[in-house]
Amino acid sequence: MLALSCASASAQTKLRAWNIHPDGYPVTEAMKRFASLVEQNTGGRYQIEVFSNATLGDQPKAVQMLKAGEVDVAEFSSGPLSDAAPGLKALNLPFLFSDSAHMFKHLDGKLGERFAAKLQTAGFVVLGWYDGGGRSFYCASRTINSFKDLAGARIRVQQSEIYIEMVKLLQATPVALPFKDVLGALEQNTVDCAENNMPSFESTGHYKVAKSVYVTNHVVSPEALVVSTKLWASLSPADKAAFSKAGTDSATLMRELWNKRVASAIETVTKQGVQFVRVKDVAPMVRRMSPLYGKYMADPSTREELLTIIGN
């Protein structure tokens, strides 16, 4: 008995998971489900502790930590992830996907496998594609009736090259800040605007300061549940299958929770007086983004995927 319990105790591996969101957020709840399924599917040999609210560091740092195998599991937005795996940049191009269904049509198929292969080469093993939703601009100090009203604004962006490029093309000033610093920056008027999906706009409290949303859905992009290649290489084939199944199941849960949270976030912020202006015609904004399309179309690491998405 004693020998048995010692053997199982020593065979237990504790893993750390990085997460940027708070409790109750779809990403957090799906990661917790992933952790409990891994534990269950491996007979308790793997235990994952989810560290939420970016307590282990901001996202660019966590991307590097995961790549180096210093954390084992994480959930990343495709913006910061694409700085470590440039082949992913195609996924962040504005107006590429019309909505999440269009995006998952590709990601749940061959294209998802191709992106996952690129990520694996860069140190990240994808176990599930989560929904990053559609991102729109919102401002504290101005009402936006056209994308031209964003010109000259200081717009907070993720610490990611493609977002910086996008905002420059709007003739605005990109201010790259960690997620947790955005509310303070809006309050202190060191930025005028930010952009995000509705669940993050609501969960962070940005809506309390930024009351004007310009609904562009300019980026519809995925997020990825990943484990380090270091952890992956240490798993037996049976444990790999157990982790993969847990990842797929957690992504299914995430997407369900996401759709509900988008609806409830819009309801909450509307009650709090947020005004939405819907973009009437995206064509002028798309034209403004054309240098980005040109750049990534000419780039051999993104071209083939872009052509596949554009063609379907």
Residue with smaller CB distance to ligand BDP, 59 or 216? 59
Tell me 142's DSSP state. Answer: -
Tokens standing for residue 262: 């988008």
- Shortest Cβ 44–ligand BDP spacing (Å): 30
Q: How far apart are CA 307 and CA 198, in angstroms?
A: 29
Residue with smaller CB distance to ligand BDP, 46 or 130? 130
- Shortest Cβ 177–ligand BDP spacing (Å): 8
Residue with smaller CB distance to ligand BDP, 100 or 196? 196
Across the chain, which distance is largest between two alpha carbons, in Å?
72
Rounded to the nearest 10 degrees, the angle between the axes of helix 100-107 and helix 110-122 is 70
Residue with smaller CB distance to ligand BDP, 100 or 200? 200
- Shortest Cβ 20–ligand BDP spacing (Å): 5
CA–CA distances in Å: residue 111 to residues 74, 129, 190: 21, 12, 40
- Shortest Cβ 187–ligand BDP spacing (Å): 17
HSE-CB at 3 with a 13 A cutoff on CA atoms is 0
Residue with smaller CB distance to ligand BDP, 42 or 196? 196
- Shortest Cβ 204–ligand BDP spacing (Å): 9
Closest CA to 49 of 27, 32, 67, 28: 32
What are the contacts of 184-192 at 24+ separation with CB within 8 A? 185/156, 186/140, 186/156, 186/210, 189/140, 189/141, 190/154, 191/154, 191/155, 191/156, 192/139, 192/140, 192/141, 192/142, 192/153, 192/154, 192/155
- Shortest Cβ 53–ligand BDP spacing (Å): 11
- Shortest Cβ 179–ligand BDP spacing (Å): 4
Residue with smaller CB distance to ligand BDP, 81 or 90? 81
Residue with smaller CB distance to ligand BDP, 20 or 292? 20
Residue with smaller CB distance to ligand BDP, 63 or 111? 63
Instruction: Specify the residue for token string 């309050």.
Output: 187
Residues at the interface with ligand BDP (CB under 6 A): 20, 59, 77, 158, 179, 196-197, 200, 223
Is the distance from CB of 38 to CB of 46 less than 8 angstroms?
Answer: yes
Is the distance from CB of 94 to CB of 289 less than 8 angstroms?
Answer: yes
H/E segment holding residue 195: strand 193-196
Q: Phi and psi for 176 in degrees, rounded to 5? A: -80, 120
Tokens standing for residue 142: 């101005």
Instruction: Specify the residue for token string 């609904």.
Output: 215
